[in-house]
Amino acid sequence: MPKDTRDVADVATDPATAATGKTAVLYRMALPDHLCPSGQKARWLLYRKGYDVDDRLFRDRSEVDAFKEEYGVPTTPQVWIEGERVGGYDTLRQKLTDYDPDATTYTPVIYLFAVAAATALALSIGFVGAITWQTLGWFISISMILLGMQKLRDIESFTTMFLTYDLLARKWVPYAYIYPWVETGAGILMTGMLLTPIAAPAALFIATVGAISVFKAVYVDKRELKCACVGGNSNVPLGFVSLTENPMMMGMAIVMLVSIFV
């Protein structure tokens, strides 16, 4: 890792002049009671992209306030590259990487399903000693738990997004608040093969309503919406993911209900 060229805040030297070639100027807080996390991340990102960092640290709150007033910026850290001020960490990240905070992405769902699959495999190998149809069942039920927890993490954001397309929730708002609890609870019970006469019908009901709602919104009404499947404020597009989540729940619920009577 390149050695820092400076270890004190320097507001006298023009950062635009110092930020030339592969040298970046970074102003960040390193107060006795606060080491700015965004500043640390900005420094690490600059190193990772091959920059030498002129690391100018604020050791006192008055220095921070004076800097903000001098340059007319609301926050620190602030970064200069190639003679121009880039801004804070988020802006720097967008400039130096392909990160786009507004871009649609399936990444959260991929990670979630990958964790569910790994957990299902661990349970199968650890307790059954082989990969069986039960592995698929655990994958689905664990996915339900994880998806439900994502919704419960910020239930207000989830319900706001959910109400844009779910048919039952749009007629009866409390259903939007009930849904993640039912999904999580049914997933827990189905993982343990407990109270199947309760868990399976509950999962089948919410999954069927969900599948119909998504199909209507995406393929009938042709609406471009964000999916609430991994919670509110996500950039996952409504469509394929939700139509994967709901049929999985429906299929497992039906299999479990049939198993009761066989």
pLDDT given for residue 5 in this prediction? 42
Q: How many CA atoms lie within 13 A of 7 on its CB side?
A: 2
pLDDT digits (tens, 9 = 90+) for 181-216: 999 999 999 999 999 999 999 999 999 999 999 999
Distance, CA of 180 to CA of 158 (rounded, Å)? 9
pLDDT given for residue 10 in this prediction? 56
Q: Compute the mean pLDDT over every residue in the chain, rounded to the nearest whole number.
A: 90
pLDDT given for residue 102 in this prediction? 76
Q: For residue 133, how far is the Cα from the chain centroid?
A: 30
pLDDT given for residue 100 in this prediction? 83
All residues at 6 or more sequence positions from 248 whose CB lies less than 8 Å from its CB, including other chains: 140, 143, 207
pLDDT given for residue 11 in this prediction? 57
Taking CA atoms, 51 is separated from 79, 99, 184, 220, in Å, by 12, 19, 46, 51
pLDDT given for residue 3 in this prediction? 41
pLDDT given for residue 98 in this prediction? 84
Q: Which residues of the chain have pLDDT under 70?
A: 1-12, 242, 262
β-strand pairing of 78-81 with 84-87: antiparallel
All residues at 6 or more sequence positions from 245 whose CB lies less than 8 Å from its CB, including other chains: 143, 147, 207, 210, 229
Provide the whole-model pTM: 0.81
pLDDT given for residue 74 in this prediction? 93
C-alpha dihedral, 165 to 252 to 241 to 180, nearest 10°: 50
pLDDT given for residue 260 in this prediction? 83
The number of beta carbons lying within 10 Å of the beta carbon of residue 115 is 13
pLDDT given for residue 1 in this prediction? 41
C-alpha dihedral, 106 to 108 to 114 to 115, nearest 10°: -170
Collapsing DSSP to helix, strand or coil, 11 comes out as coil
